[in-house]
Structure 1
Amino acid sequence: MIDTRTAPYAIFALRLALGALFLAHAGLKIFVFTPAGTAQFFASLGLPGGLAYVTILWELLGAAALILGILPRLAALALVPVMLGTIFTVHGPAGFWFTNPNGGWEYPAFWTLSLVVLAGLGNGAFALKPTLGRAGAVSYAG
């Protein structure tokens, strides 16, 4: 049974947590590794270096959308490819455990699943622009 009194606030907490994580990871790429350094790292993986700038922007926009509640269900789904990219290019080859060198895929996989769960649950409380459901109705817990 879903407690419809508390579910919107739980979804809101999940939305904030996921948004904060993306904000932190974008900040890491900007302030610690630098965008140019991140582009070099992407190139070392055989990816186009310019994809690093797209990834940073996508993480920032996705974080803002999740935190503010701007089409949060769609924002969550739009961030899934970023996480799958990290699994297949960096963390997947390192094995399962995130404590392995280069980090394993357990944490990014959990993060990906959390985004999918958020998209399935609804907008949560305090969404500024909820994602619409069928026939224009606002989604559950939105």
Structure 2
Amino acid sequence: MVDTRTAPVALLILRVVLGLLFLAHVWLKIFVFTPAGTAGFFASLGLPGWFAYVTMLWEILGGLALILGVWPRAAALAMVPLLLGTIVTVHGPAGFFFDSQYGGWEYPAFWIVALIVLALSGDGAKALRPTPLR
């Protein structure tokens, strides 16, 4: 049974935390690794360097959409391919546990599950624009 009194607040918390995590990751790419350094890392993985900029924009837009509640269910689903890409290119080859230089895929996999839970559960409280996925 779902507690309809507290579920919207729980989804708000989940939505905001997920959005903040995406913004924290893009902050790291911009201010610590630098955009050029991030592009170089992408190139070292065999990806086109320009895809780093697409990824950073994706993280900014998706993170803000989640935090603000702008089509949050759709935004959550739109972020899943980004995380699947990190599993395939960086974290998957490092193994399951997040204990090596490139981390494992347990953390991005859990993040995917949280995004899917949000997408299936609803917008949560204080969403600016609820999605029509009802």
After superposition, the C-alpha distances for 1:38-94 in whole angstroms (9 at most, x for unaligned) are: 000000000010000000000000000000000000000000000000000000000
After superposition, the C-alpha distances for 1:77-131 in whole angstroms (9 at most, x for unaligned) are: 0000000000000000000000123100000100011111110000000000110
Are residues 1:89 and 2:89 paired? yes
Find the aligned partners of 1:99 and 1:21 in 2 and give their Cα distance: 19
TM-score (norm 1): 0.93
Matching residue of 2:106: 106
One-letter amino acid of the counterpart of residue 22, structure 2 = F
The number of aligned residues is 134
Secondary structure of residue in 2 paired with 1:104: coil
Q: Residues 9-48 of structure 1: matches in 2 within 5 Å?
A: 9-48=9-48
Structure 1 stretches lacking a partner, 5+ long = 134-138
Deviation at 1:132, TM superposition (A): 1.0
TM-score (norm 2): 0.98
Matching residue of 2:63: 63
One-letter amino acid of the counterpart of residue 111, structure 2 = W
Structure 2 stretches lacking a partner, 5+ long = none
Find the aligned partners of 2:96 and 2:30 in 1 and give their Cα distance: 27
Displaced runs of 4+ in structure 1, greater than 4 A? none
One-letter amino acid of the counterpart of residue 65, structure 2 = A
Q: Which has the higher contact order (CA 8 A, sep 6+)?
A: 2
The alignment-based identity, stated in percent, is 69
